[in-house]
Structure 1
Amino acid sequence: MIDDEGSVRRGNRRGTATRENMLRAAVKALATGDPGAVSANKIAREIGATWGAVKYQFGDNDGLWAAVLHYTAERRAEVLAFGDSSMPLRERVAEIIDTLYEGLTSADSRAIESLRAALPRDHAELERLYPRTAAELSSWGRGWLETCQHAFADLAVDPERVREVAALIPGAMRGIASERQLGTYADLDQARRGLTNAIVAYLENSAAT
């Protein structure tokens, strides 16, 4: 005989599995780069679910996209674990650059780029139409800054320069990763070394005040 508590636990497990399957399907669809993939209805059809099932799990499109962003952020956090106190500054910067270089061609990153491309560029419009998604994107910026601050916390570097570097790195690495995807005659290993050297030169000897 199954008690009510056991039934609830099994129900919760089924609900969690369904939610996980939907998020995986959303990432897979978005990672194709097809503009039409940014559709909760299409994602539901691909996994044999109904729009009602998606609404039950996420509420609406905004809830689904916010959940996709959170899902990928959690997986990325496991990789972006910088800040080994035994590593010198140059090795820490190189690790950040190399990790992002590899990660920016992952399915998760391609999915997020597709989603961001379909969302409003204007912050006010984004926050009006997709408030939960906007909040999740905003939290990404704070989380990335905290990652960089943690990476250099025990070194004598200017906190304001760390903030500037944190703002610079994502865009710079997207440019280098884009060159790799498009094909280029440039030496991208050299580009990464150059970026690493520039950041190290900017951060080192900038005594924290």
Structure 2
Amino acid sequence: MTEAATAGRRANRRGLRSRESMLEAAISSLATGDPAAVSGNRIARDIGATWSVVKYQFGGIDGLWAAVLRHTADQRGDLPAGLEPGGTLRDRVAAMINALYTGLRRPESLAIETLRAALPRDHAELERDYPLTAAELASWKPNWERACQNAFADLGLDPVRVRRVAALIPAAMRGITSERTLGTYGDLDDALAALIGGIVAYLER
């Protein structure tokens, strides 16, 4: 390997480490829940860099947000596909629910919620103003549905019902997690048990 190639590889590794550090710092900033944390200049300040450096790495705020979302997805992994094979339907549903209940309290999930709250609700507006971020968010739904189908593939379940359950689980878990964060007099263990039992009964019908 030539000296120039070796130097180029070292520079590339440094660039990747710098990019990784910026993403981790951006997630930490967003995870505070402060609405101002979505500002490009605020994130740059929290990262300890100038906005021009961040822009060089990500191409702008749209590229940064898309990279944050991709980074959190990579960290999260393909949850349902990681379930133990051979488990009962109830075991698999419970494992998914419990894993999400834990995962939604992680800084990465808090960062995503802060970011989503700042994005346009209208899909056309989101896709026009933040096309990279919109494309990343849009990819999550089919990936999650496919992962859920794979998680139950050997149980002979109705794929339509599995798809509907895949739509229900994230929304229901965000609601339960929100109750936990805000404080509640309700018993969230009962809520989780009812959700698991209801999903199992629906899928078994």
Once the two structures are TM-superposed, the CA of residue 39 in structure 1 deviates from its matched residue by 1.4
Show CA shifts across 1:115-157 (max 9, x none): 0000000000000000000000001111111111111011110
2:69 is the alignment partner of 1:69: yes
User: Retained in 1: the 8 A contact 2:37–2:43?
Assistant: yes
Show CA shifts across 1:160-203 (max 9, x none): 00000000111101110111111111111110010000000010
Q: TM-score, normalised by structure 1?
A: 0.94
User: Retained in 2: the 8 A contact 1:80–1:99?
Assistant: no
Mapped partners of 1:187, 1:103: distance in 2: 20
2:117 is the alignment partner of 1:117: yes
Mapped partners of 1:63, 1:78: distance in 2: 23
2:22 is the alignment partner of 1:22: yes
Q: Which runs of 5+ in 1 are unaligned?
A: none
What corresponds to 1:106 in structure 2? 106
User: Retained in 1: the 8 A contact 2:62–2:132?
Assistant: yes
The farther-off stretch of 24-33 and 35-44 is: 35-44
Mapped partners of 1:143, 1:174: distance in 2: 18
Identity over aligned pairs, percent: 62
Mapped partners of 1:40, 1:74: distance in 2: 22
Q: TM-score, normalised by structure 2?
A: 0.96
Mapped partners of 2:107, 2:79: distance in 1: 14
What corresponds to 1:161 in structure 2? 161
Query: More helix by proportion, 1 or 2?
Result: 2
Alignment of 1:13-162 (within 5 A): 13-77=13-77, 79-162=79-162
Mapped partners of 2:41, 2:143: distance in 1: 30
User: Retained in 1: the 8 A contact 2:30–2:114?
Assistant: yes
What corresponds to 2:180 in structure 1? 180
Q: Which runs of 5+ in 2 are unaligned?
A: none
Mapped partners of 2:73, 2:203: distance in 1: 27
Q: 1:80 to 1:107 in 2, by over 3 A?
A: farther
Once the two structures are TM-superposed, the CA of residue 45 in structure 1 deviates from its matched residue by 1.6
Once the two structures are TM-superposed, the CA of residue 84 in structure 1 deviates from its matched residue by 2.6
User: Retained in 1: the 8 A contact 2:80–2:148?
Assistant: no
Show CA shifts across 1:49-70 (max 9, x none): 1111111110010000000000
Mapped partners of 1:80, 1:134: distance in 2: 24
Mapped partners of 1:79, 1:85: distance in 2: 13
Count of residue pairs the alignment pairs up: 204
Mapped partners of 1:108, 1:80: distance in 2: 18
Mapped partners of 1:71, 1:203: distance in 2: 32
Q: Which amino acid counterpart does residue 169 of structure 2 have in structure 1?
A: I
What corresponds to 1:189 in structure 2? 189
